[in-house]
Amino acid sequence: MYSFGEDSLTDKFEPKFDAAGLLTAVVIDALDGSVRMVGHMDREALDATHRTGLAHFHSRSRGKLWCKGETSGNTLTVEEILVDCDQDAVVLRCRAAGPTCHTGARSCFFRRLEGDDLVALEG
Amino acid sequence: MYSFGEDSLTDKFEPKFDAAGLLTAVVIDALDGSVRMVGHMDREALDATHRTGLAHFHSRSRGKLWCKGETSGNTLTVEEILVDCDQDAVVLRCRAAGPTCHTGARSCFFRRLEGDDLVALEG
């Protein structure tokens, strides 16, 4: 299927940060696999996540390290990190302490696109 | 929980493209909700996806529109598009015609991080 040790399919973690020094990070719920949020991680956020076990991101708007839930208490405890084939994206499988979206919704993806409109999902 | 019509929680789709003109797009499997890949979409990719029903992306490496599966046949038929709170990321819920990763793996996220090593997932 695939070969380790060739090109980017190495068995060593060598993250391919983008021009802004970031990886895309998708947070999925450890209980049901659903997508909770998407964030961005730089080296500092990866290191802080490893050190604490809590998901950290780089805030593009504030330009700094951000521990999800540092003020709200709605932290994300990382159980597993998956890495994609070209190492420019990760999936964080997390146990969530509460809702993840700043709106209070469980997931940031609480609306679906219908034409040009956004419609709230049921439940 | 949240209010439509305020700030970025409007009920109109007004994508917030990043400095490169891109949204982050997470592809999940319509059958089990698992993450298949992460890509990037510009306005052209959104339009092509709407027009054809097949997931299109903007290739950052090649700098052009890309229909997933255009050569391999491993297309992604989009059943639903979810949009996040600040409209800079989307989830594409897709039916996959075959494996999604260019390595032949079902998902691009076929390895997990253990220390500094990448270890293939079971199955």
DSSP states of A89-110 as a string? EEEEEEEESS--STTS-SSS--
Compare B87 and B8 and report the one with higher pLDDT.
Answer: B87
Those residues of chain A that have pLDDT short of 70 are 1-10, 123
From chain A, pick out residues whose CB is under 8 angstroms from the CB of B32.
33
User: CA of A106: which chain B residue's CA is closest?
Assistant: B1
User: CA of A102: which chain B residue's CA is closest?
Assistant: B85
CA A25 to CA A83: how far, in whole Å? 9
- Residues B84 and A54 sit within 8 Å (Cβ to Cβ): no
The pTM score is: 0.92
Averaged pLDDT of chain B: 92
CA B26 to CA B107: how far, in whole Å? 12
Q: Tell me the mean pLDDT in the region B23-30.
A: 98
- From residue B118, alpha-carbon distances to A107, A122, B51, B53, B114 in Å are 28, 38, 38, 34, 6
Q: Are strands A89-96 and A23-29 parallel, antiparallel or unpaired?
A: parallel
Substitution target in A57, A100, A110 with the highest count of B β-carbons within 10 Å is: A110
- From residue A55, alpha-carbon distances to A20, A25, A27, A76 in Å are 20, 10, 9, 5
**pLDDT bracket for residue B11 (50, 70, 90):** confident
Name the residue among A43, A50, A44 with its Cα closest to residue A92: A50
Substitution target in A17, A34, A38 with the highest count of B β-carbons within 10 Å is: A38
Bin A31: left if φ > 0, else alpha if -120 < ψ < 50, else beta: alpha
Taken in order of first residue, the domains within chain A and their CATH numbers are 21-120 (3.10.20.810)
ipTM of model: 0.92
Which residues have C-beta within 8 Å of that of residue B98, sequence separation ≥ 6? Answer: B69, B72, B73, B74
Sign of CA dihedral A8, A12, B35, B15: negative
CA A71 to CA A43: how far, in whole Å? 22
Looking at the predicted structure, is the pLDDT value of residue B1 above 50? no
H/E element, B13: none
